[in-house]
Amino acid sequence: MNKGTFVVLASGRGSNFQAIIDRVSDGYINAVCTSLITDNPDAYAILRAKDAGIPAEVVSYRTFPDKNMYENALLATLARYNPDLVVLAGYMRLLGERIVDLYKGKMMNIHPSLLPAFQGLHAQRQALMYGTKVAGCTVHFVTHDMDAGPVIMQRTVQVLDDDDEESLSERILIEEHQVFPEAIKLFFEKKLLIKGRRVFLLPRT
């Protein structure tokens, strides 16, 4: 039986990308990562991909005159790989409707808050400023609205009295590295069922 395939979009250091491909390597995720695609030619994730023998594609936003032309190039790159799943792992751009619609139910993202709380940038800082006692991360399917798609899985961490943005972010990231591979694993096992805003985890047979 042919394994499913996925590509990862990342913009920066790629720690979630590394966590995901490590779980592919050890057999936890029964799928193949066929490419890393980045909008940042200086992303450290590119080195991670090369170390793992995964093709790295740079579609640099700043080389295009507008977002539409950038997304045309991104769509063409995605089409060459024809992935079953697109994984956004620290990809720092909002995708346009054409891409989101094309991969509806087949594109997931991770966000460092318990959505729908603290959408957008600096979610950990937002949690600290608000004074929450619990924070965490959310894996969700991507929709037109930012950080608003159906929730697949969430993990929580306690907010400590002496936390700052860095310490809270580090503890949340530990949970991200666990839950993101798990969500991808379930996708390829066909254990995720989307019904409206809800994602049901089907029982293992």
Q: What is the pTM of this model?
A: 0.96
- Tens digits of per-residue pLDDT, 138-168? 999 999 999 999 999 999 999 999 999 999 9
Q: Please give the Cα distance from 157 to 160 (Å, whole number).
A: 9
Question: Does residue 205 carry a pLDDT above 70?
Answer: no
Q: Please give the Cα distance from 80 to 70 (Å, whole number).
A: 16
Q: Which residue segments constitute the domains of the chain, with CATH numbers given?
A: 4-110+139-151+175-195 (3.40.50.170)
Question: Does residue 76 carry a pLDDT above 90?
Answer: yes
* Long-range contacts at 55-62 (CB < 8 A, ≥ 24 apart): 61/93
The mean predicted confidence, pLDDT, of the chain is: 96
DSSP secondary structure code for residue 6 in this structure: E
- Tens digits of per-residue pLDDT, 29-64? 999 999 999 999 999 999 999 999 999 999 999 999
Percentage with pLDDT > 90 across the chain = 98
**Per-residue pLDDT at 1:** 58
Torsion over CA: 91, 146, 192, 133 (sign): positive
Please give the torsion angle defined by the CA atoms of residues 139, 59, 23 and 18, in that order, rounded to the nearest 10 degrees. -90
- Tens digits of per-residue pLDDT, 87-108? 999 999 999 999 999 999 999 9
Question: Does residue 122 carry a pLDDT above 80?
Answer: yes
The stretch 18-24 carries a mean pLDDT of 98
How many beta carbons lie within 10 A of that of residue 65, not counting itself?
7
Q: How far is CA 175 from the centre of its chain?
A: 13
How many beta carbons lie within 10 A of that of residue 195, not counting itself?
8
177 is annotated as an active-site residue: no
How many beta carbons lie within 10 A of that of residue 55, not counting itself?
13
Q: Which of 111, 140, 144, 177 is catalytic?
A: 111
pLDDT-based confidence at residue 2 (cuts at 50, 70, 90): confident
